[in-house]
Homo-oligomer: A and B are copies of this chain.
Amino acid sequence: MTRDPKYDVLFEPVEVGPKTTKNRFWQTPHCNGAGSDRPGTQAAFRGMKAEGGWGTVCIEYTAVHPESDDAPHCCARLWDEVDVMNLGHVADEVHKHGGLAGIQLFYAGIHSQTGESRAIARVPSQAPSEAILANGVAEADEDDIRDIVQMHVDASLRARDAGFDVIEIIASDSMIVLQFLQPFYNRRTDGYGGSFENRARLWIEILEGMKEAVGSDCAIGNRFSVDTLEGPDGIEVGEDGIRMIELCARQGLCDVWDLKVGHYSELSGEIAPSRFTRTNYMAPWVREAKAASPVPVVSTGRLTSPDDMVEVIVSGQADLIGAARPSIADPFLPRKIEEGRPEDIRECIGCNVCLSKWAQAVPLICTQNATSMEEYRRGWHPEKFTKTKSPCSVLVVGAGPAGLECARVLGERGYDVHLREAEAEIGGRVRDIMRYPGLAEWGRVITYRQIQLDKLKNVEVHTGVGRMSADDVLAYGADKVVCATGARWAEDGFGPVLMAPLAGADASLPHVATPEQVMAGKDIGERVVVLDCEGYFTGVSMAELLADQGKKVTLVTSWDFVAPYTAYSFEFVDIMRMLHEKKIEPVVQHAALSVEPGRITLFYIYRDGYVRTTTPKRGVPARRMGTETVTLECDGVVLVTARLSQNGLFKELKARRDEWAANDIQAVYQVGDCQAPRLIADCVFEGHRLAREFESDDPQHPLPWIRERQIWGHEAFPKLAG
């Protein structure tokens, strides 16, 4: 197939300073957890995107100096010659596929963590960060400012030596040049504070230094939050935003503007989840800024549809289609458009689980793309699959995220697959979740796989077949069986605080419901308590759904604040605003003791215990039980307490192992929530992994992978496994 001519505009080359990017697909910098210390992983990850057609592929944020060490978060670094060697390998991999390699320099200033270096960051004006605990920074004098400029110049030279074509500096996420530009952070009275020109001076000096050092070899760009969405406290596009673009234009200091909006302490503005924003949500600001720019402009905003991308270009919003998350979900997005099969694009769902892993200081994962970060260590290619040498028939029981992905990959690998789903539609738990407020895009987990399964002639999908018994499976005639029968919310309030059923909690009663029952329409009255032990999206989604129905909702959680996992996925701030706007009352640090008609009884989890005794008291239950209680009047309770595997089928089949041979069954596996109730991303991953490793000695358990690390007394990179 060839591409639809309406998409031709996306494949036009664009001049960027001294370089030309081959098309309009620009993978904007984003973190992945490999930094400069795991060069194999970083190079394979970025190289895959170049192979997938991205004209420019940038690595993640790169610290110019130990003062900008971001540990515990993983960033790349350009501090020494080993960093040049390691990142040079990354640039090489991008070049192999005809891409330009980009890098993004940062100096974190007031938000520095320096957890590894212990260095002291320098800032426009001394103050505690509003976002980082207990860091402590020094006010820069003019010597310090010269140092900061020089750090950027030195890092640019290293970036050039490593082979990078495009060097951006971060003028977003509240990094140093934005801190100088913003009066909120800059209270200086010298030549670097006060007027716009003064506040912009550091930024201009850095660009001048970089242009002089590497301007003829590399394109120089600015990743600019052209509006920090803070009103007059921040950068506004119509004020300093455009002023800055015009200033750089006059001086010829910028070859490309990579624009976004938002600010550091609320990355939800910059990396907005689908829960609260739609595709191309940055358009109004970018369009306004673009009008002032004589050089190409990059626009991001979770664009996954080629039609939307064309509109961005032809409407004059931008010259280049920026993408971080869409390029993670599908490294081959441009290639699929080029090959005339845009329906194969694996669209980002905007869940931000990728970012949630950066926030937790571990490598990126992706709900849609199980091969993310596995390109090097496990050797997985997102679009290529080894055909099996021992084809056989496989019965996959259950078409939730794990079953769907397992069936898809087994199909790609040439197995004869029967995917059987009890319910009328495929999707498993995602069918409910996509109907939670704001989570419709999460349904793409299903639609992508539906389309792929439809194309695989060796995969049959049977829906509405009812629950299979062990007898059904034994008699089915498949050589191998994969149980992907999912998990269910506990119906008795079993949860992690008491590790026992909750007294009086029984979802067969009219005043008690599980999330599944709520989605099936069970009404438990007007005053509802949502009891959340999960701490992620289910509790807040139930609360919002019920509040939208006009109910009075109280959200009770034993965690220290509402939905703590959403702080990692950068949904938290807007969730808190949503609760406030919809008058949902949060009750934190409380667990439930019992449920009765008309009320729920709670206890404060930090009530009991010892305070400054010579030795701790003996025999006092630390977080559990208690005598003082709090009673809330309510008509009904939603139990978001624990998801439990529905693994009865697998257990029975395993118990009847001696019957397998007689039924020509060679193996039975479990996968997804059926094995362990985990993130959707983890279920998709396990389904994928099982199918990739289907011929290993023990497919139920992962094969070792390559671990990148210092090796004592040995050469650096034997292909040793973990």
Contacts and interface: CB of A to CB of B under 8 A. Distances in A.
A383 interface: no
A129 interface: yes
Interface in A129-171: 129-130, 133-139, 141, 147
A604 B621 contact: no
Contacts of A263: 622
Given A80-B722, A118-B682, A609-B573, A615 B709 contact: no
Interface residues of A, number: 153
Nearest to A262: B616
A571 to B, nearest CB: 11
A614 interface: yes
Contacts of A121: 676
A126 B644 contact: yes
A229 interface: yes
A573 B612 contact: no
A227 interface: yes
B720 A81 contact: yes
A494 B722 CA distance: 51
B682 A128 contact: no
A37 interface: yes
Interface stretch (A281-289, A411-419, A462-470): A281-289
Q: How many copies does the complex hold?
A: 2
A8 B147 CA distance: 56
Given A72-B360, A128-B495, A130-B497, A136 B676 contact: yes
Residue with the highest number of chain B CB atoms closer than 10 Å, among A232, A360, A535, A619: A619
Interface string A76-117: 010111100110110000000000000000000000010111
Residue with the highest number of chain B CB atoms closer than 10 Å, among A36, A234, A710, A720: A710
B134 A679 contact: yes
Interface stretch (A21-29, A475-483, A557-565): A557-565
B40 A710 contact: yes
A277 to B, nearest CB: 7
30 contacts: A38-B710, A66-B704, A72-B361, A79-B704, A82-B720, A88-B712, A115-B360, A115-B361, A115-B362, A116-B362, A117-B702, A118-B702, A126-B645, A127-B496, A128-B534, A128-B677, A134-B535, A136-B677, A138-B676, A184-B499, A230-B621, A236-B619, A276-B611, A278-B614, A560-B560, A574-B610, A577-B607, A577-B609, A577-B611, A710-B710
A594 interface: no
Nearest to A677: B136
Interface string A581-607: 100000011000000000000001011
Nearest to A614: B278
A185 B499 contact: yes
Contact of A135 (B85, B137, B678): B678
Contact of A611 (B85, B282, B578, B625): B578
Given A282-B615, A722-B66, A624 B712 contact: no
Nearest to A236: B619
A525 B532 CA distance: 40
Contact of A710 (B608, B682, B716): B716
Contact of A499 (B127, B285, B704): B127
A445 B279 CA distance: 55
A157 B80 CA distance: 39
B716 A715 contact: yes
B624 A85 contact: no
Contact of A722 (B79, B283, B615, B679): B79
Contacts of A492: none
Given A360-B115, A496-B130, A642-B127, A710 B708 contact: yes
A237 B120 CA distance: 47
A616 B269 contact: yes
Contacts of A392: none
A654 B616 contact: no
Nearest to A122: B676
Nearest to A265: B623
A622 B128 contact: no
A711 interface: yes
A668 interface: no
